[in-house]
Amino acid sequence: MDISKYIELVFTDYTLRTITLGTAILGAITGMLGSFAVLRKQSLLGDAISHAALPGIAIAFLITGAKDTNTLLVGALVSGLIGTFWIKSIVTKTHLKSDTALGLILSVFFGFGMLLLTFIQKQPNANQAGLDKYLFGQAATLVESDVWMMAIVTGLCLIVMLTFWKEFKLLLFDADYTKTLGFNTKFIDILITVFIVLAIVLGLQTVGVVLMSAMLLAPAAAARQWTNSLAKMVFLAAIFGAFSGVFGTAISSTQNNLSTGPVIVLVASVFVAFSFIFSPSRGLLFKQIRVLKNRRDLELHKTLAFMYHIAETHDNISHPHKIKLLNNFQGYTKSTLQKLVDKNYVERNGSMWNLTQIGFETAANLYTKQETEDE
Amino acid sequence: MNSAQIEIQLIASLVAIACAIPGTFLVLRKMAMISDAISHAILPGIVIGFFVTQDLNSPVLILLAALTGIITVVLVEYIQKTGLVKEDTAIGLVFPALFSIGVILIAKNANDVHLDVDAVLLGELAFAPFDRLLIGGTDVGPKSLWVIGSILLVTISLLILFFKELKVSTFDTGLSASLGFSPAIIHYGLMSVSSVTTVGAFDAVGAILVVALMIAPAASAYLLTTDLKKMLALAISFGVFSAVFGYWVAHWLDASIAGSITTMLGIVFLLVYLFAPSKGIIAVIYRERQQRTEVSLLTFLLHLKNHEELEERHVNHLYEHINWQKVRARSVLDLAQKNNMILIEKNIVSLTKKGNEFTSKAIDYIITNEDSQIEDMKDDFFLFRG
């Protein structure tokens, strides 16, 4: 299938349109809230919450006996919140560290959820099939009302975020200062946490409990590489998340046997890898290039200094010397010599070189004055 | 109990022991989430290994998958070292990506691979006794029993051989490095053991529940003791108890064995978390309340010592002056009286000789910035605690 045909299909086909829109909105909201999770060093909290939501889904089903998405998600929300606050209480009240608390709640809640799910499957009730879609998510089961639900929550979240933007930002970067200013940090903290849990719960149907944490982390981690401003980061993360959703849906819908969740996660991971490597200020590629450039500059300086010390001993600074002389000096290569010639610091005649007046002065001042521009 | 049931419980118990040992060290080294990462990330290794060997219990597959686990650790550490993201974010980025690859590989090759996604998450402990190991035609027991048994044997021998090194490097990396044990070797050794154990246990209990078996017993044990050997022993017993008990709960509910074992682990942790003698939540809250009253008492005594005037020492005035609610003030007053620190005459409070001595000492400690000494001093002075 070619691309233009696919795009046409996205606008005409009900299912594809719903799924694309749903995953895009989901990506945007998780990206947005994920930025806060990442900056608050709570990256793995998302992982724990999404796993902790599973027993809630099962219990909601056991109580109501209905498979209505919203009811199940309310169950997920409640058990996700219980998990979150239990983690917080373990970390604050005992000497167990946050990683232990996270791993413990994550696995125990998930195991309990699996116990309930397998228990439900054995029940003589025709209604129970399809609960396991919450494990890996099935974007194909999204219907228009689900997308509306996501859109409403996203809107709500946007309003709250804009209203409390200043408070969120303050809490993020200087919690103590926020407290001294008289803000109710506990309230703000709970507000952020509740919204993060909400975003995770929304994604369960599409991406599933196992992979949901990546939706929260990946767009935010990618966005972080491109900017140092919170507003820009949140915005970028939302865009990365939305695009991961759209591309992931596109790729998985054109192939058989590809669940949407894992594909979306992989697309988001590609965004992360790309950002890690190619971001201009923090990226690994440019960092490496800067390192190499600095090393070359340093070698150039060393060569020049070495030449200067030779030239110093002669009355005429431009007295020619053999190139061979440079061979027992480590920093010397043909290209560095050529560079010095290009900069007019050195003149070269056959196998001889001599410093120019400019070269001599630069070398003399090399370590006494700070050269502002890179040589 | 038939032989299959005994075998299942035996396998579950061995898995629990094999997980509890590296788990204890992971918890102590604050690397518990690494086990989560490994357990997810080995999935592609297992699938690829399955393509090669066509046997879930083959040693080649286990080594291949364990290698994926170690690659994950290296990858996480590489990302951490670049400083582009915080360390926990690095973990959170790597394992979902690898797990996704594994899920996609399974889905794309559903026909060739006798592996389904449910089995990945839950394991198939119930079927473990049916896959027998035949040596020269004789049946020597289930394959997974042998697999996990050998892993456990290796783990225990490594533990005994390197116990001292592990202990030192866990609690004081600097000291262990200066003594000549390379922290890197011990770190990667532990990671390798964790990976191999995870892969071995994967077959029995699945990807995520293996995390529970590693962390939950160790976390429960850590709340009960601060002695490494006792902690290991407690973790192992919690693990085995949950494995056996969980099996019977699952049998009774006719539900997933692995899920039930994990739930048991969760209940064990919950009980310990609530009722552990000194570190449990109830003990902590009780102690916090006690300390709060005692700090109030100290403040109150200091106030008395500072004021000679009668009106400052009048009972009613104290309510207003120190700004406590009545109930609180009463309990503090009672405590002080019970401990013979104060004397109340005609509603005028004054310090006794003992109260005076206590307060002077406390002031000395506060002035010299040795507040923690006050805690020890309380034992000498208090007949009743707050």
Residue B334 has pLDDT above 70, yes or no: yes
* Nearest one of B296, B294, B263, B290 to B278, comparing CA atoms: B290
**Per-residue pLDDT at B115:** 64
Tokens standing for A342?
């290009």
Q: Could you tell me which of B209, B153, B191 has the C-alpha nearest to residue B14?
A: B153
Q: What is the mean pLDDT of residues A366-372?
A: 60
Average predicted confidence (pLDDT) for chain A: 84
Task: Return the H-helix or E-strand segment holding A352.
Answer: strand A352-355
Query: A189-193: long-range contacts at Cβ-Cβ below 8 A with a sequence spacing of 24 or more?
Result: A191/A160, A191/A164, A192/A33, A192/A36, A192/A40, A192/A168, A193/A84
d(CA A248, CA A20): 9
Closest-CA distance, B355 to chain A, in angstroms, reads 33
Q: Which helix (H) or strand (E) holds A5?
A: helix A3-12
Ordered structural domains, chain A, with CATH: 3-279 (1.10.3470.10), 285-364 (1.10.10)
Q: Which pLDDT belongs to residue A267?
A: 93
Q: Measure the CA–CA gap between B223 and A97, rounded to whole angstroms.
A: 11
* Interval B281-329: pLDDT, tens: 899 888 888 888 888 888 888 888 887 777 777 777 766 666 666 667 7
Give the pLDDT of residue B85.
84
Q: Which residues pair with A353 in a beta bridge?
A: A321, A348
CA distance B139 to chain A (A): 32
Write the pLDDT tens digit of every residue in A133-145: 787 777 777 888 8
How far apart, in whole angstroms, are the C-alpha atoms of residue A137 and residue A248? 13
Q: How confident is the model at residue A373 (pLDDT cuts 50, 70, 90)?
A: very low
- Phi, psi dihedral angles at B133 (to 5 degrees): -95, 125
Cβ pair A171, A186 in contact under 8 A? no
Contact A37, A198 (CB under 8 A): no
A298 vs A296: CA distance, rounded Å:
5
Amino acid A370: pLDDT: 54
Whether A272 shows a pLDDT value over 70: the answer reads yes
What is the percent of chain B with per-residue pLDDT over 90, rounded to a whole number?
27
CA distance A150 to A23: 10
CB within 8 Å: A103 and B255: no
> Rounded to whole angstroms, how far apart are CA atoms A113 and A55?
4
The highest-confidence range among A258-272, A292-306, B45-59, B96-110, by mean pLDDT, is A258-272
Residue A371 has pLDDT above 60, yes or no: no
Residue B212 scores a pLDDT above 80: yes
Antiparallel, parallel or unpaired: β B342-345 and B138-142: unpaired
Segment among A101-110, A256-265, B318-327 with least mean pLDDT:
B318-327
Every domain of chain B and the residues it spans: 3-214, 284-381
Indicate the residue of A115, A224, A258 with minimum beta-carbon distance to B255. Answer: A115
Distance from the A89 Cα atom to the nearest Cα atom in chain B, whole angstroms: 9
Q: B348-351 and A352-355 as β-strands: parallel, antiparallel, unpaired?
A: unpaired
Buried-state track B311-345, b at ≥16 Cβ within 10 A, e below 16: eebbeebbbeeeebeeeebeebbebbbebebbeee
Q: For residue A36, give the 3-state DSSP assignment.
A: helix
Q: How far apart are CA B325 and CA B331, in angstroms?
A: 10
- Mean per-residue pLDDT, A178-204: 89
Size of interface A-B (CB pairs under 8 A): 207
Q: Does A211 touch chain B (CB under 8 A)?
A: yes
Contacts of B40 in chain A (CB under 8 A): 210
Contacts of B301 (CB under 8 A, 6+ apart): B336, B341, B342, B351, B355, B358, B359, B362
Tokens representing residue B272 in the block? 């310990």
Q: Are B268 and B325 in contact (CB under 8 A)?
A: no
Q: How, if at all, do strands A352-355 and A346-349 pair?
A: antiparallel
Positive or negative: CA dihedral A9, A14, A17, A23: negative
Of the candidates A195, A165, A229, the one whose C-alpha atom is nearest the C-alpha of residue A46 is A195
| CATH hierarchy code of domain B284-381 | 1.10.10
pLDDT for position B56: 67
Question: Which residues of chain A does B253 touch, with a Cβ-Cβ cutoff of 8 Å?
Answer: 115, 119
CA–CA distance from A8 to each of A12, A14, A16, A141, A228 (Å)? 6, 12, 10, 21, 38
- Residues within 8 A of B (CB atoms), A 288-307 only: none
Whether the per-residue pLDDT at B127 is higher than 50: the answer is yes
Alpha-carbon gap: B233 to the closest alpha carbon of chain A (Å) = 18
Q: For residue B112, list chain A residues with Cβ-Cβ distance below 8 A.
A: none
- The 8-class DSSP code of residue B129 comes to G
Please name which of B64, B91, B42 lies closest in space to residue B206, comparing C-alpha atoms: B42
- Of chain B, the percentage scoring pLDDT greater than 70 comes to 93
Average pLDDT over residues A355-362: 79
Mean pLDDT confidence for A288-295: 89
Mean pLDDT of A45-54: 90
| Paired tokens of B175 | 């000291």
Rg, chain B, Cα only: 29
- Which of A69, A114, A148, A196 has the alpha carbon at shortest distance from B256? A114
Query: What is the predicted pLDDT for the residue at A374?
Result: 46
By the 10 Å C-beta count (0-12 exposed, 13-18 middle, 19+ buried), A103 is classed as buried
- The answer to whether the CB of A154 falls within 8 A of the CB of A25 is yes
Q: Which CATH superfamily is domain B3-214 in?
A: ABC transporter involved in vitamin B12 uptake, BtuC (1.10.3470.10)
For residue B345, give the 3-state DSSP assignment: strand
B273 — pLDDT class (breaks 50, 70, 90) = very high
Q: How confident is the model at residue A375, as a pLDDT?
A: 45
Q: Which of residues 123-162 of A touch B (CB under 8 A)?
A: 132, 135-136
Which band of pLDDT confidence, cut at 50, 70 and 90, is reported for residue B331? confident
Distance CA B212, CA B166 (A): 22
Note whether A50 and A213 are within 8 A (CB): yes
Q: Give me the pLDDT at residue B120, please.
A: 67
Q: Answer with the residue of higher pLDDT: B113 or A185.
A: A185
Report residue B354 as tokens: 């003992």
For residue A139, the one-letter residue type is A
Q: Are residues B266 and A114, on separate chains, in Cβ contact within 8 Å? A: no
pLDDT tens sequence across A205-231: 888 887 888 889 999 999 999 999 999
Distance CA B56, CA A286 (A): 44
Q: Helices in B225-323 by DSSP H: which ranges?
A: 228-253, 257-275, 281-306, 315-321
| pLDDT reported for residue B232 | 95
The CA-based angle A333-A335-A338, given to 5 degrees, is: 115
Strand boundaries in B66-168, DSSP class E: 132-135, 138-142
- Model confidence at A369: pLDDT above 60: no
Q: In this predicted structure, what is the pLDDT of residue A139?
A: 77
CB-CB under 8 Å, B211 with A106 = yes
At B82, the amino acid letter reads T
Q: What is the pLDDT, as a whole number, of residue B290? A: 85
Residue B252, sorted as left (phi over 0), alpha (psi -120 to 50) or beta, turns out to be alpha
Q: How far apart are the first and last CA of chain B?
A: 53
Residues of chain A neighbouring B89 (CB-CB closer than 8 A) = 38, 43, 217, 221
Confidence of residue B114 (pLDDT cuts 50, 70, 90): low
* Predicted confidence (pLDDT) per residue in A293-340, tens digit: 888 888 788 777 877 877 777 777 777 777 777 766 665 667 777 777
Distance from C-alpha of B34 to C-alpha of B194, rounded to nearest angstrom: 9
- Asked whether the beta carbons of residue B107 and residue A258 sit closer than 8 angstroms, the reply is yes
Closest in A107, A272, A284 to B262, CB measured: A107
Distance from CA of A7 to the nearest CA of B (A): 24
* Interatomic CA distance for residues A63 and A231, integer angstroms: 42
Beta-bridge partners for B132: B142
| Cβ within 8 Å of residue A56, ≥6 positions away | A72, A75, A76, A77, A78, A79, A80, A113
Confidence of residue B21 (pLDDT cuts 50, 70, 90): very high
3-state secondary structure B160-209: HHCHHHHHHHHHCHHHHHHHCCCHHHHHHHHHHHHHHHHHHHHHHHCCCH
How far apart are alpha carbons B272 and B12 in whole angstroms? 22
Distance from C-alpha of B103 to C-alpha of B115, rounded to nearest angstrom? 10
Whether residue B246 contacts residue B237, with contact meaning beta carbons closer than 8 Å, is answered with no
pLDDT tens string B5-14: 888 899 899 9
